[in-house]
């Protein structure tokens, strides 16, 4: 969660700060936050990921990191739970579990995840989007906010969903491939629902590690509805982009992960599983 800090600084420091912002095309807020993070040894713009998308594709769903441990690495993110039991949404330091029956609960600290991505979200770029007639329109807007196709970024957008189509994976047995496991996923649609989109852009070159392209989850303001985003129509969206420049991975030590055939057909399988609709 972002906090406001009002301080007095010298004219010389102010001039140097604004000159650096103009030189690097970074916001003053970002430069000050980065300097404070370095001074106090706080991780800044780091992304922490549990396992890989390739492992999920191969049916490696055993949880290996607890929610409590995950939240030590970030206050914003997404993922799933042990045995593919629903969708994870992490927002403002709280982890929620959206299950296939439509329920949303705060995840317990000892709940396990086989795959998750989190970061400590700080807005590097902001924009107001008056309307997004479709998911593809929204993604095109995000394309314009990103600097490069080769960088990881976090995405947060809050506003009114005129309509939103969500899915939640159903609990399944380990070893069942992701395509088969999600063939009977639960889908729910809602109208006039305010809430927050939580997501990441992963570069194409990392397709065996993360979900290449955009990956978006959603949770409503009342925390009663959530899931993986399949389609949307939205209005009055406040959109924020968080740049990532540091990656950390927790690699499972389970036998299932160590023996899995990873990196084979990951992109094609995820295209089937993650495909959106307008």
Mean pLDDT of 48-65: 88
Dihedral sign from CA coordinates of 228, 229, 235, 239? positive
Q: What is the pLDDT, as a whole number, of residue 174?
A: 74
User: pLDDT over 70 for what percent of the chain?
Assistant: 88
Tell me the pTM: 0.81
Mean pLDDT of 238-253: 90
Q: How far apart are CA 278 and CA 270, in angstroms?
A: 18
Report which DSSP code applies to 170: P
57 pLDDT band, cuts 50/70/90, is: confident
Q: How far apart are CA 212 and CA 124, in angstroms?
A: 21
User: pLDDT over 90 for what percent of the chain?
Assistant: 57
Which of these, 157, 135, 134, lies nearest to 145 by C-alpha position?
Answer: 157
For the segment 255-270, what is each residue's pLDDT rounded down to a tens digit?
A: 778 777 776 656 665 5
**Which of 24-38, 116-130, 192-206 is predicted least confidently?**
24-38
98-121 b/e with 16+ CB inside 10 Å = b?
bbbeeebeebeeebbbbbbbbbbb
Q: What is the pLDDT, as a whole number, of residue 203?
A: 94
Q: What is the pLDDT, as a whole number, of residue 269?
A: 56
Q: What is the pLDDT, as a whole number, of residue 3?
A: 65
**175-178 contacts at long range (C-beta below 8 A, 24 or more positions apart):** 175/59, 175/256, 176/59, 177/57, 177/58, 177/59, 177/269, 178/56, 178/57, 178/58, 178/59, 178/84, 178/269, 178/270, 178/273
pLDDT above 80 (res 182): no
Q: What is the pLDDT, as a whole number, of residue 185?
A: 80
pLDDT above 60 (res 52): yes
Mean pLDDT of 175-202: 87
| 46-274 to CATH, choices 3.80.10.10, 3.10.20.90, 3.30.160.250, 3.30.1330.80 | 3.30.1330.80
Q: What 3-state class would DSSP assign to 98?
A: strand
Q: What is the pLDDT, as a whole number, of residue 257?
A: 81
For the segment 86-137, what is each residue's pLDDT rounded down to a tens digit?
A: 999 999 999 999 999 999 999 999 999 999 999 999 999 999 999 999 999 9
pLDDT above 60 (res 276): no
Query: Average model confidence (pLDDT) for the chain?
Result: 87
Domains of the chain, residue spans: 11-40, 46-274
Backbone angles phi, psi at 224, to 5 degrees: -105, -15
β-pairing, 153-168 vs 186-202, is antiparallel
Q: Angle at CA 116, nearest 5°, toward 135 and 239?
A: 35
Q: What is the pLDDT, as a whole number, of residue 2?
A: 55
E-assigned strand segments in the chain: 46-50, 65-66, 76-80, 87-91, 94-98, 104-106, 112-113, 116-119, 125-132, 153-168, 186-202, 213-220, 226-243, 246-250
Q: How far apart are CA 125 and CA 147, in angstroms?
A: 10
Q: How far apart are CA 54 and CA 208, in angstroms?
A: 5
For residues 136 and 230, is the Cβ–Cβ distance under 8 A? no
Q: What is the pLDDT, as a whole number, of residue 154?
A: 97
Q: How far apart are CA 100 and CA 32, in angstroms?
A: 42
């Amino acid at each position: 969660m972002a906090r406001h800090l009002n301080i007095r600084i010298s004219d010389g420091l102010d001039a140097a700060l604004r000159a650096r912002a103009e030189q690097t095309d970074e916001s003053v807020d970002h430069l000050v936050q980065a300097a404070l993070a370095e001074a106090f040894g706080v991780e800044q713009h780091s992304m922490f990921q549990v396992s890989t998308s390739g492992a999920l594709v191969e049916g490696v769903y055993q949880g290996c990191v607890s929610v409590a441990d995950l939240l030590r690495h970030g206050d914003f993110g997404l993922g799933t739970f042990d045995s593919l039991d629903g969708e994870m949404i992490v927002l403002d330091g709280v982890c929620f579990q959206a299950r296939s029956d439509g329920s949303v609960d705060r995840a317990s600290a000892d709940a396990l995840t086989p795959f998750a991505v989190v970061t400590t979200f700080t807005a590097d770029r902001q924009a107001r989007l008056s309307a997004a007639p479709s998911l593809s329109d929204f993604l095109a807007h995000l394309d314009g906010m990103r600097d490069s196709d080769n960088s990881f970024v976090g995405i947060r957008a809050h506003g009114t969903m005129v309509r939103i189509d969500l899915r939640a994976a159903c609990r399944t047995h380990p070893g069942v491939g992701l395509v088969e496991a999600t063939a009977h996923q639960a889908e729910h649609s809602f109208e006039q629902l305010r809430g927050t989109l939580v997501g990441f852009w992963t570069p194409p070159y990392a397709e065996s590690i993360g979900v290449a392209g955009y990956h978006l989850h959603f949770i409503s303001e009342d925390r009663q509805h959530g899931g993986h985003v399949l389609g949307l129509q939205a209005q009055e969206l406040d959109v924020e982009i968080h740049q990532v420049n540091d990656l950390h991975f927790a690699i499972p030590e389970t036998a299932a992960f160590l023996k899995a055939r990873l990196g084979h057909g990951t992109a094609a399988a995820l295209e089937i599983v993650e495909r959106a609709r307008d």
